[in-house]
Every structure is written in C-alpha cells, then in structure tokens.
A and B are shown apart, each in its own frame.
Chain A
Amino acid sequence: MYVYLGIDVGSVSTNLVATGEDGTIKHSIYMRTSGKPIEVVQKGLKLMHLALPPGTKVAGVGTTGSGRHLAGVMTGADVVKNEITTHAIAASNVVPGVQTILEIGGQDSKIIILRNGVVSDFAMNTVCAAGTGSFLDQQASRLNLDIEDFGPQALQSKVPVQIAGRCAVFAESDMIHKQQMGYNIPDILAGLCEALVRNYMNNVGKGKEILAPVVFQGGVAANAGMKWAFEKALEIEVIVPPYFNVMGALGAAMLARESTNRRKTGFRGFQVADSDFCSGGFACDGCPNICEVVEIQEGGRVIARWGDRCGRWSNALANEEKIS
C-alpha cells in the first residue's frame, strides 16, 4: 500500500495524516506541540509507523503550519506549503463546492473565501490574537474546566452573558467581573463564544461575503459552543468536517500527492524518528541587525539554518527560505 503523509506543525497542535492514493484518510494523529516541535514530529512519525500496516510505503510527504520548514527539513518533504493553501485544498476536497472556510487554530484565525473552487480572498488575524484557541484554552484552565467540556457546557446556557470581546485581556477581566456578579458558568462560556465570534467577524471577516456552504475547521471547531455561536451570528448552517482538526495536514498530504505525481519522493524514511536532531541558535554579529539564526543539526551535522536576514548563514547551506 502506498500512502501520502501530511504533517501540520502548528503553534499548539501537531497533526499527521496518512492518506491513500485515492485521498481517503488511513490514519490521523493529533498531538500537542507543547513547544517542542522536533520531538513531537518524531513521536508522531513513530506512532504513524506503528499504526500503518507493515509494508506500507510512503510515496510523498507534505508539511505545513508555522513549523513547516523545520518538519520539511527533518522528513525530506516533497512540498512545504503555507497553511492557508493547504486548508483551502483540504476543505474543497472534503466539502465540494465550499464557499467559505472559517478556521480558528491555536494562535491564528483565518477566513478563506472560495469561489468556483478557487481561493478568491483570504484574511488572517493581524497583530491581535484575541479570538484564537489559546485564549479559550487559557480561560478554560482558569475556570478549572477541561477544554473538552467547554462546548457542551456552553450549549447548556439559557441566557448568554454579554462579554467584551474586543481584546482578550479585557475580555478576561470582564469575565471575572461577571463571575463575581454571580452569573453561572455556562452563561459566561456561551457569552465568551459569542464575543469571540463577534471579534472574529469584525477583525478577520470584515467586509467578506460569507456564502454557504460554510466549513468551520481548526482545533477550535471541536468546541460545539463556537459552532453554535457562528450559526447564530451568520444565520447559516456551519459544517464541521469529520477531520476538522487535521485539515491542514490533510491538505499537505493532498499536495504531496500532486507534487510527487509518480516521481520519487524525498522522504527520508520513518527512521528519522530515531535520529538525533537538535536545534540551536546563535546571534549573528555581522551587522547591527543581530539576527537570531536557528540551526538544525542531525547527529552533529548542520542540515538547515534560517532566521538571518541577509542570507549569510542560510545561503551557506544553499537552503534559502523562499516564498513559493
């Protein structure tokens, strides 16, 4: 059996997907990145290797997410693609005819507008991270609530409380205030969901023409409260696809299939899970920019460098980070 691997290394979660040649998902893994992208990618590869039937061959690898370059270097990826493109590709394959994609991840949120199967517009949150998964995570832990219980609890609300969602910091103080006033938790949680949706629509969704079918994906789509709040605000049915939390990885796997196209893959094999990778950094003192150069080593050998503005170090390895 041949499979295509997609790896999405995000700020909060790292996901791996193996798809068959027909694009169906054979296995998917969702893990927390916990600030250790290298270890998590290795662990994910190990788990994937165990989960796939023996004798499975990897015919292509694609990486995406904010750690895509790192994962790409480690695995020898055939394609390294930004998360907007991979999300769009995955959604348009899973839900044919999709016109709007709402994606809320750990530290970013984006909206992708498709028309006739092609991305026609997109937006990502700018300098503000209000309304992303990290904030919900943090609030849930502050309320001593498992993030998994967040959605079901919010759905029990009868009268959602109005919460100022413009800024995550002020939303928190507003929530504390509402708690002290004696509102119950489900109402506050539902109010929080509504506030985040409001913020999302004002920031990211500003001026965008949102047409059905609407797909909601990314880790936050697990939260039924957010789905409810989106449906209430948009007055459109919101579809949460079955593999909503690994859509980026799925898109990367689909792109890998397209880009290898029966050519040989650059995949370095599952044994990279046991290689000794280490990342280090140093401050280049070549000019007052003092770039923090990141160096990835495998068994003591430097395999990639990035982070320098002038290319002094990355060019030395002829591994320049380019936009493609």
Chain B
Amino acid sequence: MSIKVGIPRALLYYYYHPQWVTFFRRLGVETVVSRETTRGLLDKGLKSTVDEACLPVKLAVGHVLDLRDRVDYIFLPRIVSTARKEYICPKFLGFPDMVRHTINNLPPIIDCNFNLYHKGSSPADFYFQVGKFFTRNPAKIIMAYNASKAALEKHNLDMQSECLPVRQEHAADGVGNCNGINIAVIGHPYVIYDNYISMNMVKRLRDSGARVLTADHLPESVVREEAFRLPKKMFWTINQRMVGAAYHYFGREDVHGLIHVASFGCGTDSFTGELIERCARCGSHKPMLSLTVDEHTGEAGMVTRLEAFMDMVRWRRNLADAAATL
C-alpha cells in the first residue's frame, strides 16, 4: 500500500494543486484531497481555531480535520513568498504551527519552507526538501519536480484561457442567454473558487447570463504591469494580483462590471478593497459591488445584491446601447 499524503482543499491549493499532485504522483505517493467545503466541515474548523484568524484560515483548519484520520502525512507547506521581494500573508506563514498546536492526533506534517523572497532562491529547494520525505534518490526528485513544473505551467495557461481551477469549466460554459455581459470577480482564489464560502457566486452570475472573469485569467505580466501604477509596490503577491487585475478590467471596454469579494477578518482585503474602490470612483465609471463573506449561511443577502447589481449593469448597458444608436 502506498503512502498517502493529504492536501487540504484550501488556501493556495487553488493555485498550486496541479503541481503538488503531479509531484507526489511522480514520487509514487498517493494524494488525498480533502472533500469540498460543507457546513459540517466549516463548523469543525470554526470550533478549532482561535477567534482572531480570518475565515479562510478557519476553513483551512476544517479541511485539515477532514484529512486527519485518513492519511499518513498532511501537506501544509509554509509558503512565505512566491516571488522575489514579495510576501504571502503572514497567516500562511504561521499556518502549519497554528494547526500543529491546536489539533491533536495529527499525522506528521510536511511543512517545508517555500520562500522565493531572496535572490537566487528557487522552488526546486522546496521540492527537494519535500521529496526527501519519500525517497533518497535525488534523480527521482528532479524528475518529479520537472514534471510538476510542466503541470503548473499547463494549469496557468489553462487559467488564462478562462478555465476555473478544480472544476475545469470554461468561463463561457453553462451560460444560458449570454448577451455579452462580462463581469470581473476579484477576490482571493480560495474564496471565490470555493462554492460554499462564495455561495456559488460564479454559478449564480453565469445563470443570470454573465461571463465571469477573474484575476487568474490574466497573465502574470499584465497584472504586474497594472499593479505598477500604484505609488508604492504592493508586496503581498495575491493582493497585488487582485489590484492589478482590477485596474486592468476597469480599463477594458468589454468588461461591464466588477465585483470585489472580501472575506471577513482579512487584513489585506480591507485596503485592497479601498484601493480598488477609489479607482472605480475616479478613474472609471464602471459599476462596482463590494461583497463581504463570512460564516453566515443565509444566502438572501448575497442573492439580493447580485440581482440588483446585474439589473444595474444591464440597465446601464441598454442605456449605453441606446445612446450609441442615436
């Protein structure tokens, strides 16, 4: 029986899962991904986490609990930085320790450092450390790493052709009467792609006839260039991506509205939202909606706001069309 490694379906899983899964598979290790978020899973996470943590972290703890009793290792990489001179939120940095000290009877945790902050650092260092848990053969690790790198590149290209992670649906799929309305949804990947936490926002928008675009549909170069317009470099990678994407979509003719999704308790969302909103007020006249998601299960508030937002977008678009024909 092969060794099983558990990967929580949370946090940066949504960016890196093809790479992680490929890497472990090439090493002959079986991967187990936690089940999709449900109320039961979130409840467990909420009960086991300190109250100061943000919603995504509480959710991630729930996913770890879901894996606890059915795997040999839990993969919780300590992701410090994914780009030079940039950081990931400090809560990610402390996450393996937070888990280790709050949950009992855990299988061993693989919490190698993933840090590209300094010059000359490479993801390969991280994968070597992880690989050493399972094999002593460096050649095997190198091969697995190369394969995983290719998988990530393919995933990123797929994303740019408007796939969504995990479900691998195309953005135009499932759109009923697509009357050419494009809505950009800007938020953390682990919030907007999680169907439970986002209350099926992407599906709801599609059902109402919108094509959904996210920050991950843009190549990194575009996002970075746009984020460069900020007076000071944003050194949180994910937020830089959100701001850059928002600026890009504000400037695009074919995007009719933008939704910013913040999660309750997220420190960086508070000012990212503000930066995006200021741009919406001054530089652009596109409709924008800010939504905050939290533990609540009532969907009525979300549905009402999305409905009204779509009404507003359609209304304004019809008016613009009418003006163009005059």
Contacts and interface: CB of A to CB of B under 8 A. Distances in A.
A pairs with B: yes
Contacts of B306: 323
Contacts of B40: 288-290
Nearest to A124: B305
Contacts of A321: 303
Contacts of B294: 127
Contacts of B288: 121
A288 B264 contact: no
A100 B204 CA distance: 28
A244 to B, nearest CB: 20
User: How would you classify the secondary structure of chain A's contact residues: helix, strand, loop or mixed?
Assistant: loop
B250 to A, nearest CB: 14
Interface string A17-29: 0000000000000
A50 interface: no
Interface string B268-306: 000000000110010001011010101010001101111
A82 B39 CA distance: 27
Q: Which of under 10, 10 to 19, 20 to 34, or 35 or more describes the interface residues of A?
A: 20 to 34
Contact of B304 (A84, A121, A123): A84
A124 B39 CA distance: 26
A85 B40 CA distance: 35
B292 to A, nearest CB: 5
Interface in A130-172: none
Q: Which of under 10, 10 to 19, 20 to 34, or 35 or more describes the interface residues of B?
A: 35 or more
A83 B307 CA distance: 10
A81 B41 CA distance: 33
A182 interface: no
A323 B41 contact: no
B266 to A, nearest CB: 13
Given A289-B196, A323-B204, A116 B319 contact: yes
B41 A84 contact: no
B113 interface: no
A323 B38 contact: no
Contacts of B304: 66, 82-84, 124
6 contacts: A85-B312, A127-B264, A207-B281, A288-B41, A323-B303, A323-B307
Interface of B: 38-41, 196, 200, 204-205, 207-208, 264, 277-278, 281, 285, 287-288, 290, 292, 294, 296, 300-301, 303-312, 315-316, 319
